[in-house]
Amino acid sequence: MNIAVIDADLLGRKRHRFPNLVCMKLSGYHKERGDTVSLKLDYSDLDQFDRVYIAKVFTDTPIDQAILDKPNVTYGGTGFFYDRAEPLPPEIEHHMPDYHLYDRWAVTQKPSEIKFYAEYSIGYLTRGCFRHCPFCVNRRADKVIEHSPLAEFDSPINRRIALLDDNFLGCERWRELLTDLQATGKRFSFRQGLDARLLDDDKCELLFRSRYDGDFYFSFDSIADKEIIESKLALIRKHTRKQCRFYLLDGFNPRRTYDDAFWLPALKSLLDRIELLKRYDMLGYVMRYRSIAQSPFRVIHQLVGAWCNQPRFFRKISCRQFSYLPKRENDARQLERFLKEYPQFEHYFDQ
């Protein structure tokens, strides 16, 4: 068969630094069967293919419904169905990804933009979670289970490993799996972040002496977790001085009500979490929920995120100083107007 694989996020987003694992598994499966597989870089002439697979991760990636209605098109992924996405058939899910699928596209890109296409084996050692976070694609899951052995996706052609596990430290056999990763001799990282609330001395000792690839990423989504997160920050610093970053969800309300009474506490929640991380010499990475567009303090949220997400500024200057950098004049005006009305927030912006 003549097969086309389309990574919709690659076509529909300005920047796309991470390959689609489903696309690579589909390609690997069909190539092994003797089919011809092409990474299609547009939506034209789809009728010439026996089968067209379209996958996407992000819900806001645009695609014409008329394309999806074509009889030879099969589509799926969290970008289409979020937490109700159907799993791949086992023979595809557990197939070695085709790490050459993106090769022809990659040669047209800057080397700094395609490291995950060129250097990494990508997969899941575990799947699932037990937190039931209402904003998460895993909110229907009840536990963490082992998913794939490392050999299923770790290719000798790649010198690094990127894990997409949902909550790796929640797996009963985390120690054995982490030991297997270390035994490869390759640098590796958990791209989705780790659950800091599950850290203990044993986990810290093994994790922080690994050949880790880049920063350690954790999450700090709610100020309600402040007490336990602070205890884990102290625990991390007991074991390492390495750079750690925490994903900070901003602007999500579990009650799904986004009225005026929500926004000031929401901003304070973000600033309190950032303040706590700075106290332990940790970095934050603000992830704005789509509701931020409704906030009367939208510009302030964006300013804080821009400052926090750039360590070269976050470590050296305050958010107020950042707002006075060239080309941020509107930010500075908006911030001064905000602080005049809410002076109780001033200390957050001057530290």
Look at residue 344 and tell me whether its pLDDT is greater than 90: yes
Say if CB 332 and CB 300 are below 8 A apart: no
Look at residue 14 and tell me whether its pLDDT is greater than 90: no
Burial 309-326 (b: 16+ CB within 10 A, else e): beeebbeeebbbebbeee
Q: Could you give the CA distance from residue 13 to residue 275 in angstroms, rounded to a whole number?
A: 32
Neighbours of 24 (CB within 10 A): 26
Q: Could you give the CA distance from residue 5 to residue 49 in angstroms, rounded to a whole number?
A: 10
Q: For residue 314, which phi and psi values (nearest 5 degrees)?
A: -55, -40
What is the DSSP pairing of strand 145-146 with strand 126-127? antiparallel
Domains of the chain with bracketed CATH: 1-95 (3.40.50), 119-214 (3.30.750.210), 216-224+238-351 (no CATH)
Q: Could you give the CA distance from residue 154 to residue 187 in angstroms, rounded to a whole number?
A: 12
Write the CA distances from 82 to 57, 74, 86, 330, integer angstroms. Answer: 8, 16, 10, 36
Nearest to 332 by CA among 342, 341, 322: 322
Beta bridge partners of 126: 146
CB proximity list for 57: less than 8 A, separation 6 or greater: 9, 20, 77, 78, 79
Give me the pLDDT at residue 251, please: 96
Beta bridge partners of 163: 123, 190
Q: Could you give the CA distance from residue 20 to residue 9 in angstroms, rounded to a whole number?
A: 8
Say if CB 122 and CB 159 are below 8 A apart: no
Give me the pLDDT at residue 15, please: 83
Rg (CA), the chain: 22
**DSSP 8-state code for residue 212:** B
Say if CB 22 and CB 54 are below 8 A apart: no
Say if CB 92 and CB 55 are below 8 A apart: no
Say if CB 268 and CB 281 are below 8 A apart: no
The fraction of the chain above a pLDDT of 70, given in percent, is 100
**DSSP 8-state code for residue 193:** -
**3-state DSSP assignment of residue 150:** helix
Give me the pLDDT at residue 133, please: 94
Helix ranges, 43-83 (H): 65-68, 78-81
Nearest to 231 by CA among 267, 204, 265, 251: 204
Look at residue 12 and tell me whether its pLDDT is greater than 90: yes
Interval 183-221: pLDDT, tens: 999 999 999 999 999 999 999 999 999 999 999 999 999
Interval 270-328: pLDDT, tens: 999 999 999 999 999 999 999 999 999 999 999 999 999 999 999 999 999 999 999 99
Terminal-to-terminal C-alpha distance of the chain: 61
Give me the pLDDT at residue 200, please: 98
